[in-house]
Amino acid sequence: MSTLSDLVHAQGLSTDQDVEWLHRLAGDGQLLADLAFADIVIWVPTADDTFIAVAHTRPGGAATLFYRDIVGDRVRPQWRTQVKDAFTQGRIVDSASPDWFEETPTRVRAVPIVRELASGERPARIVGVLTRHTNLGEARTPSRQQITFNDCADDLFGMVATADFPDLNAPTAPRRGAPRASDGLIRLDVDGMTTFASPNALSAFNRLGFEDELEGEPLLEVATAILPNKREFDESLPIVMAGRAPWRADIEARGVTVSLRTIPLRDHGTRIGAIVLCRDVSEIRHQEQELITKDATIREIHHRVKNNLQTVASLLRIQARRTHSEEARDALTQAMRRVSAIAVVHDTLSEGLAQNVEFDEVFVRVLKLVAEVAAAPNTRARTRSSGRFGTLPSEYATPLALALTELVTNAVEHGLAGTEGDVEIVADRNDERLEVRVRDSGSGLPEGQVGRGLGTQIVRTLIQGELSGTIDWHTIMGSGTEVTIEIPLRYIDRDAV
**Residue from 188, 201, 113 nearest 151 by CA:** 188
Q: Does 378 or 59 have the greater pLDDT score? A: 59
Distance from C-alpha of 211 to C-alpha of 356, rounded to nearest angstrom: 48
The residue extents of the domains of the chain are 4-160, 185-280, 284-353, 355-497
Residue closest to 426 by CA, chosen among 418, 416, 417, 436: 436
DSSP calls for 25-41:
HHHTHHHHHHHHTSEEE
Compute the Cα dihedral for 135, 136, 137, 141 and give only its sign.
positive
* Cα separation of the two ends of the chain: 24
> pLDDT, tens digit, for every residue of 468-488?
888 888 877 666 788 898 999
- pLDDT-based confidence at residue 432 (cuts at 50, 70, 90): confident
pLDDT digits (tens, 9 = 90+) for 412-426: 777 676 677 788 889
Report the alpha-carbon distance of residue 31 to residue 179 in Å, rounded. 10
Percent of the chain with pLDDT over 70: 84
* Structure confidence at residue 348 (pLDDT): 67
Q: What are phi and psi of 204, to 5 degrees?
A: -60, -45
- Using alpha carbons, select from 408, 303, 293 the residue that is nearest to residue 348: 303
pTM of the predicted protein model: 0.64
CATH match for 4-160 among 3.40.50.150, 3.30.450.280, 3.40.190.80, 3.40.50.720:
3.30.450.280
Residue 496 confidence class, pLDDT cut points 50, 70, 90: very low
**Which long-range contacts link 49-52 to residues 24+ away (Cβ below 8 Å)?**
50/74, 50/75, 50/80, 51/75, 51/80, 51/83, 51/84, 51/87, 51/128, 51/129, 52/7, 52/11
What does the pLDDT look like over 132-158, one tens digit per residue? 999 887 767 788 999 999 999 999 999
pLDDT tens profile 268-318: 889 999 999 999 988 877 777 776 666 666 667 767 777 777 788 788 878
| More confidently predicted of 60 and 378 | 60
Asked if residue 491 lies in contact with residue 388, where contact means CB atoms within 8 angstroms, the answer is no
CATH number of 355-497: 3.30.565.10
Residue 96: burial class (beta carbons within 10 Å; 0-12, 13-18, 19+): exposed
Fold: same for 185-280 and 355-497: no
The pLDDT-based confidence of 45 (bands split at 50, 70, 90) is very high
pLDDT at 366 over 60: yes
Task: Give pLDDT tens digits for 207-222.
Answer: 998 988 999 999 999 9
pLDDT tens readout for residues 168-207: 777 765 556 688 999 999 999 999 999 999 999 999 999 9
pLDDT at 58 over 80: yes
Cα separations (Å) of 177 from 23, 60, 183, 251, 279? 20, 17, 10, 14, 8
CA 372 to chain centre: 40
Query: Which helix (H) or strand (E) is 109 found in, with range?
Result: strand 104-115
| CATH superfamily ID and name for 185-280 | PAS domain (3.30.450.20)
